[in-house]
Structure 1
Amino acid sequence: MTSPPAIPAAVALPAERPAHRDGNVLRWLGAYTASTVGDNVYYLALSWAAVSTGTPAQAGVVTAVSALPRALLMLGGGVVADRFGPRRVVIGGDAVRCAAVLTAAAVLWLSDPGLWPLTLLALVFGTVDAMFLPAVGALPVRVTGPGQLARVQGMRGMAIRFANVVGAPLGGLGVALGGAAAAFGIAGLLIAVSVPLLVSVRMRALPSDEAAGAAADASGAADGESAARATAWHDVAAGLRHIRRSRVLGPLMLAIALGDLGFVGPLNVGLTLLADERGWGASGAGWVLAGFGAGAGAASLLLTVRGRLPHAGWITGGACIAGAAAIGALPHAPSVLAAAGTALLVGLLAGTSGALCGALLQTSAAPAYLGRVTAVASLVSLGFAPLSMPLSAAAIGAWGTGPVFAVSAVVCALGGVVALAAPGLRRAELPG
């Protein structure tokens, strides 16, 4: 694989400093936060506009349209990030997303065109996300030193929690003031804020292993195919080989997949159905979800302040197993307060293991493959794991919350078992 020329912003940075005191990291964090809040506003505006314009079934189709190109193109997006550099892809992706959302806002403001512009917007957003998400995941290792990656993952988690809390009310305010067009306008402006911030972020020069990556690509090509002639499919295959051959990345991907499959369904669908089953009502479900959010936020804050946790592999596996036990205990909580406390524990443990998984992935992947490695992890979390939500809902309807939460806990715990059973991952440490 031929490496692109170094971009002007790629410079060797000074010695490591704490990420929360590093202006370079804080500019990246500001860009990431603005873009993520904008995403939350966008999704609310899209749902509201689709429901207001069409039938519920049509609205469901519109909101689901972006998922298909994202799932189909995600691995190719990792290739794009590795070939052209994640900085270029993230800046370009945010610029295109901003233009698309502001265009939709203008169209809705000037006319009532029906569902077609919303469907086109969702399609464009999903296609760009397939390139954008792997590049976003590959950026942290380039804006700070290896010893600060756990802290950066904690800061990223806090940004996500902030966006989840602020985004929906901000989108609702936009809808109340000027309809979906105003909400789309707010989303576009927030995404626009990220672009100049990203342009100002300097990239840390990584160890030059592109030559090694190209050699590995060439050795895997049939009949001595030149790396310069490698196709995108060959690049994808080379990335998958890199994961499979790594003593850390292979089991880490399996652990992430199992953890997400066991976690996403119960926490996104199961909690609402549990509250309904137990007669806690919408307020009870809100308290339980708030408990989970508080726990996940606490985990992010802990990593932001602490910076580095020793024995990262051990903690990842142990937190996953303990979190699985807490998931299994949720449907047996005797009251809303007990369920909220249990959900807080789930958030704390899941947030810790998730952030450490992200940091281990970044430090274990060779720089030449980081975009593709991140793409595989994103595909597992955003493409496959959400499929468990309708399955969980159907299973709860048939057998109730207790058995379904128990099965989900077992699946999640298997991810921790994989992490602890694989020697390379179990003994993995983050750089100090």
Structure 2
Amino acid sequence: MSERTTSVPDALIPPAAAVPAHRDPNVLRWVAAYTVSMVGDMVFYLALSWAAVQNGTAAQAGIVTAVSAVPRALLMLGGGVVADRFGPRRAVIGSDAVRCGTVLAVAAVLFVTDPGLWLLALLAVVFGTVDAVFLPAVGALPARITTKDQLARVQGMRGLGIRFAAVVGAPLGGLGVAVGGSAAAFAFAGLLIAVSVPLLVSVRVRELPPDEATPRDDTTAWRDLRAGLRHVRRHRVLGPLMITIALGDLGFVGPLNVGLTLLADERGWGASGMGWVLGGFGTGAGVAALLLTVRGRVPYAGLVAAGAIIPGAAAIAALAYAPGLPVAVGTAVLVGLLTGLSGAMCGALLQTQTDTAYLGRVTAVAGIVSLGIAPLSMPLSAAAIGVWGTGPVFVVSALVCALGGVVALCAPGLRRAELPK
């Protein structure tokens, strides 16, 4: 059985080939909902970290802010099964509504009392658990609102939404804390997520044909999970693509998070200098997302992804040896442009190469790599920098990232992969 949308028949949804995604009101509603929800996430995590610092030690605050990653990583494969069995639209709306209600409830509690760290830790666990359903469903939904020839453009639009959320989310969260403390910031985050819910309800989806839908009556969830993993393992593009994504994220996350902080401190750039470098990265990544949004399709997608990963990795290594802040900012722009382009290509290939009925589970596999495995490189990077310094660690991380490009070049299916016309 597949997800059904009785209010809007399929015949009333214009084919995406006739309406480019960036001009399709249905797609734009989805992008708006996703962007507003991501801004709410940014405000939420800032409010969570601020409240944790105010109620405990630095170590306790770190545990509270990190604890949401545990259920998200452990349960995301199950969330992918839920998205495919019950439909991504239903899963997205339900999980977003739960996220909204939970955050607003905690905000109300904080307005009247100070329950301490236990409530914040519980909130983080709940938020991470619901994210385990929300994130795979978000990844599976675009294929239901447009056709494959527009999925690459939707990936670019989604990238622009992420960049927008990163730019405005932290300042809005800081404003909420400054105006009314953590309670006000949580309330603001909840209201932003609440705005996304009716937008998601208004998004129209196509039903999968019966032969493509994930059956719910004669299979178990465990069999569905195994079928999804088997789909990735046996696919000539998806298998090496997951390895490429994993290596790219492992080599990227450490240097561009904890490594950049330590590099800025070592070079005397300060917080403002680090902000300039991060801004350069965001600018480059935003340009890459805009390129994909405007063009809609890039030829030789697999080759472009591999070709962008390797010089992007070299730029990561070069960042540690930048002679001054202006050069570091320029290098960060190049890192953002190249890694943003490779990431967009990998995301677009994942969307277009995966059978629609498996998209929730395949997105979950990629999410575990990015959100479960890659963050492990951050404490390792910090410890390694303490022993060997920033330069060698950035170089090793760049080599790991470049290895992802080598895998893409050595896998014929991925190297020759194209986006649909």
**TM-score, shorter chain, exceeding 0.5:** yes
Aligned residue number for residue 345 of structure 1: 334
Distance 1:118 1:415 in 2: 37
Listed as ranges, the gaps of 5+ residues in structure 1 are 215-226
1:323 matches 2:312 = yes
Instruction: Summarize deviations over 1:219-278 as a string: whole Å, max 9, x none.
Output: xxxxxxxx8453322221111111011001000000000000001100111111112222
Aligned residue number for residue 243 of structure 2: 254
Gap change, CA 1:10 and 1:132, over 3 Å in 2: farther
Whichever residue aligns with residue 188 of structure 2, its letter is I
Distance 1:404 1:313 in 2: 28
Listed as ranges, the gaps of 5+ residues in structure 2 are none
Match of 2:346 among 352, 357, 381: 357
Deviation at 1:369, TM superposition (A): 1.0
Instruction: Summarize deviations over 1:80-114 as a string: whole Å, max 9, x none.
Output: 00100010000001100000000000000011221
Moved more, 97-106 or 353-362: 353-362
Distance 2:61 2:316 in 1: 32
Gap change, CA 1:7 and 1:65, over 3 Å in 2: same
Q: What's the secondary structure of 2:236's corresponding residue? A: coil
Aligned residue number for residue 298 of structure 1: 287
Aligned residue number for residue 260 of structure 2: 271
Gap change, CA 1:104 and 1:386, over 3 Å in 2: same
Aligned residue number for residue 362 of structure 2: 373
Deviation at 1:207, TM superposition (A): 5.2
1:87 matches 2:89 = yes
Deviation at 1:135, TM superposition (A): 0.5
Match of 1:314 among 296, 303, 306: 303
Distance 2:9 2:240 in 1: 32
Aligned residue number for residue 5 of structure 2: 7
* Conserved? CA contact 1:209–1:367, under 8 Å: no
Instruction: Summarize deviations over 1:279-335 as a string: whole Å, max 9, x none.
Output: 222222222111111100111111111111011011011001110111111112111
* Conserved? CA contact 2:309–2:405, under 8 Å: yes
* Conserved? CA contact 1:91–1:199, under 8 Å: yes
Distance 1:10 1:350 in 2: 40
Matches within 5 A, 1:40-189: 40-189=42-191
Instruction: Summarize deviations over 1:98-151 as a string: whole Å, max 9, x none.
Output: 000000000000112212221221111011001111001111122222111121
Q: What's the secondary structure of 1:204's corresponding residue? A: coil
What is the identity percentage for the equivalent residue pairs of Structure 1 and Structure 2?
75
* Conserved? CA contact 2:3–2:87, under 8 Å: no
Moved more, 9-18 or 406-415: 9-18
Whichever residue aligns with residue 335 of structure 2, its letter is V
Distance 2:364 2:221 in 1: 14
- The TM-score, its normalising length taken from structure 2, stands at 0.96
Distance 1:74 1:196 in 2: 25
Deviation at 1:200, TM superposition (A): 0.7
Matches within 5 A, 1:164-243: 164-206=166-208, 208-210=210-212, 228-243=217-232
Distance 2:105 2:381 in 1: 37
Distance 1:89 1:117 in 2: 26
Distance 1:101 1:5 in 2: 28
* Conserved? CA contact 1:209–1:366, under 8 Å: no
* Conserved? CA contact 1:264–1:386, under 8 Å: yes
1:416 matches 2:405 = yes
Q: What's the secondary structure of 1:196's corresponding residue? A: helix
Aligned residue number for residue 30 of structure 1: 32
* Conserved? CA contact 2:246–2:374, under 8 Å: yes
Instruction: Summarize deviations over 1:358-417 as a string: whole Å, max 9, x none.
Output: 111111111121110000000100110010011011111110111111111111111111
Matches within 5 A, 1:393-408: 393-408=382-397
Q: What's the secondary structure of 1:269's corresponding residue? A: helix
Aligned residue number for residue 218 of structure 1: none
Distance 1:4 1:332 in 2: 53
Distance 1:117 1:303 in 2: 42
Distance 2:369 2:210 in 1: 28
* Conserved? CA contact 1:97–1:125, under 8 Å: yes
Gap change, CA 1:209 and 1:357, over 3 Å in 2: farther
Match of 1:336 among 315, 325, 330: 325
Gap change, CA 1:126 and 1:313, over 3 Å in 2: same
Moved more, 230-239 or 248-257: 230-239
Deviation at 1:157, TM superposition (A): 0.8
Whichever residue aligns with residue 148 of structure 1, its letter is Q
- The TM-score, its normalising length taken from structure 1, stands at 0.94
Gap change, CA 1:419 and 1:337, over 3 Å in 2: same
Q: What's the secondary structure of 2:419's corresponding residue? A: coil
Distance 1:10 1:406 in 2: 54
Whichever residue aligns with residue 328 of structure 1, its letter is A
Moved more, 112-121 or 286-295: 112-121
Whichever residue aligns with residue 386 of structure 1, its letter is P
Gap change, CA 1:249 and 1:209, over 3 Å in 2: farther
Distance 1:365 1:23 in 2: 25
Aligned residue number for residue 386 of structure 1: 375
Distance 2:168 2:232 in 1: 36
